Structure 1
Amino acid sequence: MQARLLLEDGTLFIGKSFGAEGELTGEVVFNTGVTGYQEVVSDPSYYGQIVTMTYPLIGNYGISRDDFESLVPSIHGLVVRRYEPIPSNWRAQYSLGDLLKEHGIPGISDIDTRMLTRKIRQKGTMKGIITTSAKSVEELQAMMAAVSVEELHNQVASTSTSFLYHNPGVNERIVLVDFGAKNGILRQLNQRGCDVVIVPHDTTAEEIRRLNPDGIQLSNGPGDPKDVPHAVQMISELLGEYPIFGICLGHQLLSLACGADTEKLKFGHRGGNHPVKELATGRCYITSQNHGYAVTEASIAGTELEITHINNNDKTIEGVRHKKYPAFSVQYHPEASPGPQDNNYLFDQFLEMIREHKQQNPKRSRQAEIMAAAKGEL
């Protein structure tokens, strides 16, 4: 079946369909990863986006139940040069095309993805629509025009959990604020025995206090960080009270809460091969990234933040740390294993920060509070 991809600048690509029939509109972006298409498709940070894979062969190792970053794919379309419908991998349970069909996501193959990527690099990300219908170009342009950029970028509420839930552990209690969290973050905390409570994006500071956490993890998520001002307010209220570790969108939200600013990048950083320099050691890490916004360097000067990591390609900020309070964040995904384990140390740093904070700020244990209340001391 034929499929078409129409960009808002009028460029039309004609290829083959390998996903669901119909049409979806989204922001057209590109990902430079050689592998990891299943993680890309299921990453909530791609909500509302049509993703172009720059590596030419996609689908060859199929889909496995163990590699999902969320149970429901979030993308609005997938663009590839060559799609392999028959995977060759002992772990494969079904094909990528079957996954897209199951969730109503269109895919298009057999187009010039190099040309498309160059266009995005030159002009920046733009809206597009994938269709398998016979609608005219004029009809498709009208459909794209009816979807606002604001609608495409206000996505956190659609990817966050709508209710609190508990993932028990025996060590430190971590409140994971879900802005569209990847499973990998929870997996890293679980491996360290953390007692994790996952809460919705609009959870208030007071509601988090009632959970009596040892630390707060700010997750990744889609869209513009300025679309979730309630999260910025929550973080600013808890800053200094609890150790905080932000990842991706969580990094941007922590920076906004500290008085810094963010801006939209021309075409973003998406892929598993982005070099990041840690300023304290001079070491370069290969990182996995997926974001369209970044913290501006000029805005850091008037804050209590210090820059800890920079991108070796374009020198954008990749990490910050608060000078006074136990809080730090990174723009990239340490849980995504591009190294494959090089960046996991950040979770260990977070737990070490929590332990130091508890030593410097001893609290009554929950049992001690109960006994004190019974004696009338509270």
Structure 2
Amino acid sequence: MADAYVALADGRVFEARARAPGRTRGELVFTTAYTGYEESLTDPSYEEQVLTFSYPLIGNYGVRDERFESDRVHPNAAIAREMTDDVAEWLAGEGVPAVDHLDTRELVTTVREEGAMNCGIAAGPEATPEVAKEELAECKGMSEHLDIGKQVSTDDPYTVEGDGEHDVALVDCGMKGSIVSSLTERGADVHVLPYDVDAETVAELDPDVLFVSNGPGDPANFESTQALVEEFAGDLPLAGICLGQQIVARAFDGDTEKMAFGHRGVNQPVRDLRTGQVVMTTQNHGYSVADPGDLTVTQVNVNDDTAEGLESEEYDVVTRQYHPEANPGPHDSLGFFDDVLAMAENGTRTTVKAD
């Protein structure tokens, strides 16, 4: 007898097995990744979402906190065809509902055909289809989470030291920890700042690069971060990953749009328009750059031609929609961080001031 239920916005209710009890709601999305479930579940970009794994077995190499990308699980719930006890116990300890023993192939097909949609989940002894539907009725769309940055960003600035070769001001919109380590391993001191940091704080740091991280939600809701980029455009080299690319594009008179079901997985092919080279990438985003504005599209997704890289020599800008720092991989595009720090090395701007 089922003790868990997943209610979809299209009216269907799936029966399942409760692996971690609770009731919750969120935007139903899926990832095609077959490794990296620890990284995915601790990725702040999944905030307010319900993560479905298309790979049939999740947890086959245990749970180790040194592989986490942040200090907590971010999806509101997790769904798998089969989930090991290690993962189920971890999620239960985090207070995150989890279910398995349902047809995840049908869930994934539904999202691919109808788009990412809201869902409600009830798991445990008190679970009923009606409870799952109640959760669904209370679910907001991702664009309605107006201040989602506050849920995932650091409250206070802090610094992670490298070798002191460069200073990077990293705006934390929901960053993955491996972005910081990718920069410090290359000698940079990384100053991690709240998503709504003011321009005066950045100016006092006098960094070599302003870097906007990944994160969850609609980039249009990160107005303060966009304003910060606009403030320093032309005075400071700029970089961004994922949500960071979208925010930077908007700051340069570009525009963004919600995708039907997004890109989430570890096998997304990206082509460089200048060299023709194709690399495999890890991605996790539900929005994309529809108009690059004053920036130039340098890389595109092979599957749908969405913008994967933006650059500007005039303004010293380099961004990526995918995750070059992805763990456990692939690592085809780690050179992005060398390009970011090359802007710091070659830049002629030495002192920045807030207007």
TM superposition score normalised by structure 2: 0.94
2:133 corresponds to = 141
1:69 corresponds to = 69
1:163 corresponds to = 156
Pair 1:253–1:363, CA change in 2 (3 A)? closer
Q: CA deviation at 1:138?
A: 4.0
- State the structure with bigger RCO (CA 8 A, min sep 6), 1 or 2: 2
Contact 2:272 2:299 in 1 (8 A): yes
What amino acid is aligned across from residue 126 of structure 1 in structure 2?
A: M
Contact 1:78 1:108 in 2 (8 A): yes
Aligned: 1:311 with 2:301: yes
Partners of 1:122 and 1:208 lie apart in 2 by 44
Contact 2:98 2:123 in 1 (8 A): no
SS at match of 2:39: helix
Q: CA deviation at 1:46?
A: 0.2
Q: CA deviation at 1:193?
A: 1.5
Q: Which runs of 5+ in 2 are unaligned?
A: none
Q: CA deviation at 1:135?
A: 5.2
Contact 2:178 2:327 in 1 (8 A): no
2:274 corresponds to = 280
TM superposition score normalised by structure 1: 0.88
Partners of 2:227 and 2:351 lie apart in 1 by 25
SS at match of 1:18: strand
SS at match of 2:325: helix
What amino acid is aligned across from residue 44 of structure 1 in structure 2?
A: P
Aligned: 1:352 with 2:346: no
1:271 corresponds to = 265
2:87 corresponds to = 96
After TM superposition, the structure 1 = structure 2 runs for residues 42-57 of structure 1, keeping only pairs within 5 Å, are 42-57=42-57
Pair 1:119–1:76, CA change in 2 (3 A)? same
Which structure has the larger Rg over C-alpha atoms? 1
Q: Deviations over 1:228-271 (max 9, x none)?
A: 11111110110111111100000000000000000000000001
Aligned: 1:320 with 2:314: no
Q: How many residues align?
A: 348
Contact 2:4 2:123 in 1 (8 A): yes
Which structure's residues are more often strand, by fraction? 2
Partners of 1:153 and 1:114 lie apart in 2 by 32
Contact 1:286 1:339 in 2 (8 A): no
Identity fraction in percent: 38
Partners of 1:269 and 1:39 lie apart in 2 by 16
Partners of 1:354 and 1:50 lie apart in 2 by 39
Partners of 1:65 and 1:81 lie apart in 2 by 23
After TM superposition, the structure 1 = structure 2 runs for residues 1-378 of structure 1, keeping only pairs within 5 Å, are 2-19=3-20, 21-85=21-85, 95-133=86-124, 134=126, 136-149=128-141, 150-152=143-145, 154-169=147-162, 170-296=164-290, 299-300=291-292, 303-337=293-327, 340-357=330-347, 360-361=348-349
Q: How much is the aligned-residue C-alpha RMSD, in angstroms?
A: 1.7
What amino acid is aligned across from residue 179 of structure 1 in structure 2?
A: C
Contact 1:286 1:338 in 2 (8 A): no
SS at match of 1:102: helix
Q: CA deviation at 1:152?
A: 4.8
Contact 1:154 1:224 in 2 (8 A): no
Partners of 1:221 and 1:155 lie apart in 2 by 9
Q: CA deviation at 1:339?
A: 5.1
